[in-house]
Structure 1
Amino acid sequence: MRLLDIPHRGRTLRGALHLPADTDAPVPAVVFCHGFGGNRAEFGYTFVRAAERMAAHGIAAYRFDFAGCGDSEGEFEDLTVSDQVAQTTAVLDAVAAHPAIDAERVSLLGMSLGGLTASLAAPLRQVRSLILWAPAAVAVAMSDEGAKRRAEAIAEFGYDDFGGLPIHQAFVDDAEDIDPFADAAAYPGPVLLAVGSEDFVLEPGVLERYEHAYAGRLDLHLFDGVGHGFETVPARERLVELSAEFAARHA
């Protein structure tokens, strides 16, 4: 593993590049997008383990912190989905330009809000494959009740307190212009979708809308008995291996 910084709009995005051992030829790669308020290690260091598993399959992996998160520069209060999409496309371009990477074989993996971000970035760069862990489409497609509660919180406090992290009006305004399913459907390649049966973001109809968006390109895996963070050792091991095998199959 080696550290790799990428500039974006006056900020430095910091990340870690995992390369397969003993290879001289350019290799395929997967860019990892973490969830809301997370970092490039992700829950239980699962991104680290997944990156190492990718490398064992002959695939490079780049894990980075979004602006305002982890070690990257920027302010968390400025977070919007569109900005994260722009960061992701910049990272894809930088990774594709790396001398160790085959520019024609770069894929995306995203968790939660990072999954939503990856699904929106994928059509902009026509990545090789797309891996979504519990994508948080509800972040931009909230119920009327949820949107009302968020608006009231922002009006009273200046932000909505989401698990100890603030969501500001800029995030809400940006989300109004995003259709998480129609916008994602423009990506024509293969998609792996992994979700827990008890996931709080798995609102009624979400899976059906992803199935419609990705039509025959979707490889859906429902993990029984776990929630948003795939909270058991077997579930996380299965998630890591499924993702590595999928990336290798479509590299």
Structure 2
Amino acid sequence: MTLLHEEPVRFQVEGEQVVGLLHLPTGERPAQGWPALLMLHGFTGHKSGEHRLHTLFARQMAARGMVALRFDFRGYGDSQGDFADVTPARQLADVQAAAGWLRAHPDTDPQRLSLLGHSLGGLLAAQSAPDVAPHRLLLWSPALPDYFLQHLPGGQLPAGVQDLGGWPLGRPFLEGVLRLNPLKAARGWGGVAAVMHGDADESCPPAWGEQYAQALGPGTELALIEDAGHTFDNLAHLQTLYDLSRRFLLGESLAAELPATPRK
């Protein structure tokens, strides 16, 4: 395997600091630069992911010659901003800024930037794909706006901030996320994509992953990982997720490894 180097990253979005970590291979740099991967975490998450889901995968990809950037959205993790002020529009601006930063890095090939999102990060990845124009798009257990209907007390938008287990969830976030249409954005993108979803996911039903795969087009790879939950919290599930994801991002065929999934 190619050795790797890791370094902290800071860039500004609308006057606030975004904090991330960049994973760089240390082998001989290709003439056109390394391919790159931008990773988006989920709702109330952080750049490392549940049980270091993103950290470990970023290291795997860097060891195989792909630069990986994982970062905290504003209002999350180590980045500046308040969670009460988070909106999907602000998060999409963060995605655009991070993609621009990564494409401008002297060690990356700007034409080969792939985008990976988990849960809400998957929703945001699909929503931003037409604008970011990734080389490849990979969704892990992607959410749909319907996920957030559970946070509408009495079916109504809250008047102000509600306490979500210590997270100050603001009304503007809920208003914004319910207006998004990531499936429509996915249909309008038309690039190379894959969806990985646990078939025992109780947070984001596997049917949502199937909807994304259908919206992304007939060439989209879809893997329903048997007995896996929303965060793939089992070592065997993680190994399957990482193996399939790595093969997809490196342009290798998954046909022999994917379970047969009927398409409607």
Structure 1 residues 181 and 162: CA distance shift in structure 2, 3 A: farther
Amino acid at match of 1:191: A
SS of equivalent residue, structure 1 residue 29 = strand
Please give the residue correspondences for 1:1-251 in structure 2 after superposition, counting only pairs within 5 Å: 1-25=6-30, 26-137=33-144, 140-142=145-147, 146=150, 148-149=152-153, 151-152=155-156, 154-155=158-159, 158-203=160-205, 205-249=207-251
Cα pair 1:35 1:112 within 8 Å, conserved: yes
Cα pair 2:11 2:17 within 8 Å, conserved: yes
Moved more, 196-205 or 74-83: 196-205
Structure 1 residues 78 and 198: CA distance shift in structure 2, 3 A: same
- How far apart are the structure 2 equivalents of 1:97 and 1:72? 21
- How far apart are the structure 2 equivalents of 1:121 and 1:38? 19
- How far apart are the structure 1 equivalents of 2:248 and 2:36? 12
Cα pair 2:140 2:195 within 8 Å, conserved: yes
Amino acid at match of 2:183: F
TM-fit CA distance, 1:208? 4.0
- How far apart are the structure 1 equivalents of 2:239 and 2:233? 11
Amino acid at match of 2:25: P
User: Stretches of 4+ moved more than 6 A in 1?
Assistant: none
Q: TM-score w.r.t. structure 1 length?
A: 0.90
- How far apart are the structure 2 equivalents of 1:17 and 1:150? 43
TM-fit CA distance, 1:239? 1.2
Structure 1 gaps of 5+ residues are none
Structure 1 residues 208 and 229: CA distance shift in structure 2, 3 A: closer
% identity of equivalent residues: 33
| Greater relative contact order (Cα < 8 A, sep 6+) | 1
Cα pair 1:68 1:76 within 8 Å, conserved: yes
Cα pair 1:53 1:241 within 8 Å, conserved: no
- How far apart are the structure 2 equivalents of 1:244 and 1:149? 40
Cα pair 2:23 2:62 within 8 Å, conserved: yes
- How far apart are the structure 1 equivalents of 2:44 and 2:148? 22
Structure 2 gaps of 5+ residues are 1-5, 253-264
TM-fit CA distance, 1:238? 1.6
- How far apart are the structure 1 equivalents of 2:193 and 2:163? 32
Cα pair 2:89 2:176 within 8 Å, conserved: yes
Moved more, 1-10 or 19-28: 19-28
SS of equivalent residue, structure 1 residue 19 = strand
TM-fit CA distance, 1:141? 2.8
Structure 1 residues 86 and 153: CA distance shift in structure 2, 3 A: closer
- How far apart are the structure 1 equivalents of 2:222 and 2:125? 16
Q: TM-score w.r.t. structure 2 length?
A: 0.86
Cα pair 2:129 2:185 within 8 Å, conserved: no
Between the two proteins, the alignment pairs up a number of residues equal to 245
TM-fit CA distance, 1:161? 4.1
SS of equivalent residue, structure 1 residue 216 = coil
- How far apart are the structure 2 equivalents of 1:107 and 1:234? 25
Cα pair 1:6 1:14 within 8 Å, conserved: yes
SS of equivalent residue, structure 2 residue 146 = coil
- How far apart are the structure 2 equivalents of 1:178 and 1:126? 18
SS of equivalent residue, structure 2 residue 70 = strand
Structure 1 residues 207 and 17: CA distance shift in structure 2, 3 A: closer
TM-fit CA distance, 1:227? 1.3
Cα pair 2:119 2:204 within 8 Å, conserved: no
Structure 1 residues 212 and 72: CA distance shift in structure 2, 3 A: same
